Each structure stands twice: as C-alpha cells, then as structure tokens.
A and B are shown apart, each in its own frame.
Chain A
Amino acid sequence: MSTTHAPIAARTVDLGTPDVRRSWARDVGLVMARELRPVVREPFGLVFGLVQPLVFLGLFGPLLVGSTGGSDAIGPDVWQWFVPAILVMTTLFGTSTTGSNLQFEMQTGAHERLLVTPLARSAQLVGRSLKEMAPVVAQSLLVIAVMLPFGFSVDPVGGPLGLLLLALLGVGLGSLSYALAIAVRKQEWMFWMVQQTVLFPAMILSGMLLPIDAGPRWMQVAASLNPVAYVVDAERALFAGDLGTTALQGFVAALATAAVGLAVGIRTIVRSTD
C-alpha cells in the first residue's frame, strides 16, 4: 500500500464557506458550458451532423432544380428556396436527437450525479437546451458558406435574424427531445421510435423539400398546424430580405415551440424524482 499520496482533505482551497448564493442563471450557464465543452473540443461532431443535410443539398437539390425550378411555388432561384429549408432540416435533425446524449448520461450515471448536486433541476434542462443554439448556428454558417459560391445570397439583416430564429427553434426542439428521453427512461427504445415517428411527418409537412401548395388539401391543413412549416417559410423570407408577416409568424411559431418545449422539459425533469 502506498503511503505517499497527497491528502484528500482540501489544502489550498477554502471549502469552509462555499455556500454561495445560488443563481438559477449561473446554474444554467454552468450546465450550458459543460455541454458545450466536448462540442468545442471535438467539433468534428458538428460536421458529422451536416452529412445528411449536405446529402440532401447535393442530391435532392439538383433534382429540384430540374423538376420544379422556375415554378411559381419555388420561384426562379431554387437554392434561395431550398437552402433556408436545409438549415431548418439541420436544426430539426440535430436537436431532435440530442435527447439521446442525455439518455447515454442516464445510462452511465453522469446525469444522476448532477441530480445530486445543488444545481437546480430546471436549470439542468434549460442549460442543456440553450446549448443547442451553438451547434445549430455553427452548422448553419457552414452550410451557408458552402452554398454561397452556388449563388445563395444572404440578406444582411434577415440572415442574422434567420440564424436567431433557428436557435430559438433549436431550443424548443432540444427541450422536447430531452423531455422525451426522460419520459421514456424506463423503455429507452421508445425514444427513437417516437423521435422518428414525429420527425419525418414534421419535415415533410413543413414544405421543406417540396411545396405544400402542390399537395392535397388535408396536407395543407396539417401543415398549417406544424410550427416547423412557419419557421421554414420565415427562413426563406428572412434570407431573401423580407422582414414582414411571414418572418413574424415564424418567430411566433419558434417562440411557442421553445416555450412549450421548456415547460414540458422542466416539468418532466422535476417530476422524474416523484
């Protein structure tokens, strides 16, 4: 047995008065920083998350150009119609799966450890959800950078607002994904079943890939109930420099999604110990 270890009792740190006044915002910041650290240290994950949207851009985009380019619904510039939608798709795919990270931390024990710290439980959910903004914006900037040489243009005011809108949507979808992960923690396989069941209808009924106007009436009604559809329309408008009603409707939809997501997420994490 070794006898050369340093003592475990604190030597250089005064631990006698660590009872700082806890701030909820500080807790949120701590959680957010912890979640972001691996993303910053290994940004390859961000690029990996772009594979699917870039495949759509590379393979579906040219089809779109050939089949519907110039139509009334899409307009003369297909990329100006399609790239904003791809940004929403990136957000949708990235944030809806983020609950699986929490699932992994629940399986390993890291989440449980955090639950026994003084961190407010609501702050743990909100911090994780707000973290989603960073990869969403970073990935969007990458997609925009890739598409600029192909003629995609970004309105100097609408573009940043479009990124803000994506960040808001990401917070809402991320919260819902975390809430789902916690809610189905006793049947983990349910997470992917529910996520996939919701993801694809939400994507198709948003008019992301093809105009909803070309679909039957029932699809148009369903799309009118889909907040992602409003965000897709708003992104197209914002990147084109239209800051009017369509953009406003998108912000209302994203804010509503964020509010509902956070409310459901906080309720789920707080009740998870009842």
Chain B
Amino acid sequence: MIRTRGLTKDFTVCRTQTVHAVRGIDLDVAPGELVAVLGPNGAGKTTTMRMLTSLIRPTAGTAEVAGFDVVRQPAQVRRHIGYVGQGNGAGHQQRAADELTTQGVIYGLDRRAARRRTGELLEALDLTDLSSRKVSDLSGGQRRRLDVALGLVHAPRLLFLDEPSTGLDPHNRANLWEHIVRLRREHAMTLVLTTHYLDEADTMAERVVVVDHGRVIADDTPRALKRDLAGDRVTVQAAASAEAPRLATLVAALPGAREVHVDGATVTARVADGDAAVVELVRGADRAAVDVVGARSTSPTLDDVFLALTGRSLREGPETHDGDRAAGKDAA
C-alpha cells in the first residue's frame, strides 16, 4: 500500500540554513495494516505524511502510495487516499452536512448519493443531530469526528491520520478511537497515523515506526519493540539490605538480564520475559536461602523503547530540530 525508498525532504528556512526534516526514509506498509509513526515533535513524522499525501514534494527519493507515485501521479494518489490532518478540515463558516456532501461530490458522487453518504457518516460518527450546525459551533471532539468523516466520504482503502487526537480530552480521545477502531474493523482499511501519545500507539497500532531526526530508528510491533529494545523490568525486594547483593547475583543470571541495580534491599533489572523471570527468581532465591519479601514484573512502555534507542525520553519535549514546523508552514 505504501513503499518509500530514500524519501528525503529538506527545507530552506533562510538563504543560508537548510533543515533536513526527513533523511532517507524506507518504509513499506502492507494493505490492512495499522501503523503508528511515533516520534518527538520535529522528528519528521508530519513531513513524511505530507509527502505521502502529496501535500509537499520530496527533495529526493521515491514514494508509492496506493500504487501511484506521489510526484508523478499526485492526482491519483489524492483520489485513492483519505486524509485527516492536524487541523480542522471542515471550514468553520460551513455547516457540517454541507461540508460532507461537498466532499462526496468532489470525490465523484452525484449530489443525491453524496447526501445519502453524508447521512450515513453523520449517523456512524454520532453527528446526526449536529448536521445543520456551523462547524465553528461544534466542540473540539465533534469537529474531530467530522474531520474523520470527511476523510472517509469516498471509503478510501488507505487513511492517513495526522495526530488525530491531539488537543482532545481523555473522554473525547477514547470516543474518537472507538470510532476509528470500528471503521477499520468494518472496512479492512489501511491506517497510517502519527501520534505522540505513547499509549495510543501502544494499544492501537499493530506496528510502530519510530522516527527521530528524520530517520526511522525502529520499526516493529509494539510488543516486539518493547521486548527487544527495552525488555520487562523486574523488581525484587530482599528481606534485608545485606541480602541484596546475593539477590542481584541471581537476577544477573536471568536470561537476557541487563541494567541490574541495587538500591537498599531492592534489586531492579531489565529482562526479556518479566513474568517468567519473577517465577525463576523466587524459586532461585528459595534454593539459595535468600529471603524475598516481594517481586513484580512491569511491562515497558514505548517511552522506554525510545529511551533505549536514543538516550532521551519522548516525554522530554521537542528537540531543537524543527523539520515538522517547517513542513507545517510549507504547503498552502
């Protein structure tokens, strides 16, 4: 569904300064996948999405979307994709139903069919009662659902969602995701989304592409990324601090154990399989006559993955690199 090779985008922010927003991204997305592109602000997520949706031209490299080249066949790309951008796609002076119907006609439906499709989507996204309301009078969550509806009017096989839930409160985020997950289930649609909500990427995506400084630095299922790059964290507590070094020796002997730390009577470490490690540790401690008073395993988060990959936390905020901000202003 998507295939990029060496996809690159540079922005000239002033005559002497060039921002390398995307630096040679290779990406393959198969039909039906739900892929989350994750990274800090300015990592190049939005710039990549803008190139894939034909909003901006790549500086170098190739990208094929839905079977069409984004540079040579941008009209065909637009014909076959849906796009929900970061902003509100519906004009604020327009009425919700009017925008949906116009969108349907733009994609080739006759006006009657477009009106029927509008009714379907309004109903499906809980917007029926708001159909004649001006977009500026809708709440943030309602506007976002309308944006999703606009992206779905022509039932695209591939839908891009650029930070779909940013700015929404937890209730509206959950509500929006309920709709998105349902539409994908019904529609066998390929979804590519960018987000900086780690929990969203973790729970919703089948595959996470981690982008940093314009490059893909990891690409796998959330589970595999966490297992391979971060690992489960085990925390074991000895009855007394004096027993902690012996406990640490047992922990260090676990398969794949690393980052073993002792803090008083508590020993922590990263291991490949936390649940199995806890069982093994308790048994081992019993055999070695080390008195253990507590043991638990916690799953890593995608932030742990990013930390392992870059030495930085995704929660630390934006880096100085500002490729996405340049991209955001680039396409009119």
Binding site for B on A (CB under 8 A): 1-2, 5-15, 18-20, 22, 27, 30, 33-34, 37-38, 41-42, 104-120, 182, 185-186, 268-269, 272-274
- The answer to whether the Cβ of B298 comes within 8 Å of any Cβ in the partner chain is no
- The answer to whether the Cβ of B142 comes within 8 Å of any Cβ in the partner chain is no
Give A2 to B92 CA distance when docked, in angstroms: 29
Which one of B25-33, B82-90, B276-284 contacts A? Answer: B82-90
Give A120 to B155 CA distance when docked, in angstroms: 20
Distance in angstroms from A265 CB to nearest chain B CB is 11
Q: Given A18-B107, A110-B92, A30–B102 Cβ distance below 8 Å? A: yes
A contact residues around B79 at 8 Å (CB)? 19, 118
Which one of B53-61, B206-214, B299-307 contacts A? Answer: B53-61
> Is there an interface contact between A110 and B117, defined as CB atoms closer than 8 Å?
no
A contact residues around B83 at 8 Å (CB)? 113, 116
Of the candidates B57, B94, B107, B182, which one forms a contact with A117 in the assembled complex, judged by CB atoms under 8 Å apart?
Answer: B107
16 A-B pairs with CB atoms under 8 Å apart are A8-B152, A9-B155, A9-B186, A13-B116, A15-B117, A19-B108, A22-B108, A38-B93, A38-B94, A110-B87, A112-B89, A113-B150, A114-B106, A116-B55, A118-B108, A273-B54
Q: Which residue of B lies closest to A26 (CB)?
A: B105
Q: Given A115-B55, A273-B331, A30–B105 Cβ distance below 8 Å? A: yes
B contact residues around A269 at 8 Å (CB)? 332
Of the candidates A7, A13, A22, A110, which one forms a contact with B109 in the assembled complex, judged by CB atoms under 8 Å apart?
Answer: A13
Q: Given A13-B120, A185-B332, A7–B186 Cβ distance below 8 Å? A: yes
B contact residues around A118 at 8 Å (CB)? 75, 78-79, 106-108
Give A115 to B179 CA distance when docked, in angstroms: 25
Give A103 to B161 CA distance when docked, in angstroms: 23
> Is there an interface contact between B98 and A37, defined as CB atoms closer than 8 Å?
yes
A contact residues around B116 at 8 Å (CB)? 12-13
> Is there an interface contact between B81 and A111, defined as CB atoms closer than 8 Å?
no
A contact residues around B183 at 8 Å (CB)? 8-9
A contact residues around B3 at 8 Å (CB)? none
- The answer to whether the Cβ of B15 comes within 8 Å of any Cβ in the partner chain is no
A contact residues around B93 at 8 Å (CB)? 38, 42
Q: Given A34-B102, A117-B106, A273-B56, A9–B91 Cβ distance below 8 Å? A: no
B contact residues around A19 at 8 Å (CB)? 79, 108
B contact residues around A119 at 8 Å (CB)? 106
> Is there an interface contact between B90 and A110, defined as CB atoms closer than 8 Å?
yes
Q: Given A8-B125, A8-B152, A116–B81 Cβ distance below 8 Å? A: yes
The residue in A10, A38, A111 that gathers the most chain B C-beta atoms within 10 A of its C-beta is A10
Total interface residues on B, CB under 8 Å, equals: 55
> What string of 1s and 0s marks CB contacts (under 8 Å) between B108-133 and chain A?
11000110110011011110000000
B contact residues around A13 at 8 Å (CB)? 104, 109, 113-114, 116-117, 120
Within 8 A of A (CB), among B317-332: 329-332
- The answer to whether the Cβ of B103 comes within 8 Å of any Cβ in the partner chain is yes
Q: Which residue of B lies closest to A17 (CB)?
A: B108
- The answer to whether the Cβ of B154 comes within 8 Å of any Cβ in the partner chain is yes
B contact residues around A114 at 8 Å (CB)? 106
> Is there an interface contact between B108 and A108, defined as CB atoms closer than 8 Å?
no
Distance in angstroms from A125 CB to nearest chain B CB is 10
- The answer to whether the Cβ of B286 comes within 8 Å of any Cβ in the partner chain is no
Give A182 to B331 CA distance when docked, in angstroms: 9
Q: Given A8-B121, A13-B117, A14-B113, A116–B94 Cβ distance below 8 Å? A: no
Of the candidates B107, B154, B178, which one forms a contact with A2 in the assembled complex, judged by CB atoms under 8 Å apart?
Answer: B178
> Is there an interface contact between B108 and A106, defined as CB atoms closer than 8 Å?
no
A contact residues around B329 at 8 Å (CB)? 185-186
A contact residues around B87 at 8 Å (CB)? 107-110, 112
Distance in angstroms from B210 CB to nearest chain A CB is 25
Q: Which residue of A lies closest to B98 (CB)?
A: A37
Give A106 to B328 CA distance when docked, in angstroms: 10
> Is there an interface contact between B81 and A6, defined as CB atoms closer than 8 Å?
no
Give A58 to B116 CA distance when docked, in angstroms: 50
A contact residues around B95 at 8 Å (CB)? 37, 41
> Is there an interface contact between B182 and A8, defined as CB atoms closer than 8 Å?
yes
> Is there an interface contact between A6 and B78, defined as CB atoms closer than 8 Å?
no
> Is there an interface contact between B109 and A18, defined as CB atoms closer than 8 Å?
yes
> Is there an interface contact between A273 and B107, defined as CB atoms closer than 8 Å?
no
Q: A5-B126, A116-B55 are in contact. List 13 more A-B contacts (CB 8 A).
A: A6-B123, A15-B117, A37-B94, A109-B85, A109-B89, A112-B89, A115-B55, A115-B332, A118-B75, A118-B78, A118-B106, A273-B331, A274-B56
> Is there an interface contact between A5 and B124, defined as CB atoms closer than 8 Å?
yes
Q: Given A9-B187, A15-B155, A185-B329, A116–B107 Cβ distance below 8 Å? A: no
A contact residues around B104 at 8 Å (CB)? 13
Q: Which residue of B lies closest to A272 (CB)?
A: B332
Give A19 to B81 CA distance when docked, in angstroms: 13
B contact residues around A38 at 8 Å (CB)? 91, 93-94
> Is there an interface contact between A10 and B155, defined as CB atoms closer than 8 Å?
yes
Of the candidates A8, A15, A109, which one forms a contact with B86 in the assembled complex, judged by CB atoms under 8 Å apart?
Answer: A109
A contact residues around B154 at 8 Å (CB)? 15, 18
> Is there an interface contact between B155 and A7, defined as CB atoms closer than 8 Å?
no
Q: Given A38-B94, A273-B56, A116–B78 Cβ distance below 8 Å? A: yes
The residue in B81, B93, B102, B152 that gathers the most chain A C-beta atoms within 10 A of its C-beta is B93
> Is there an interface contact between A30 and B89, defined as CB atoms closer than 8 Å?
no
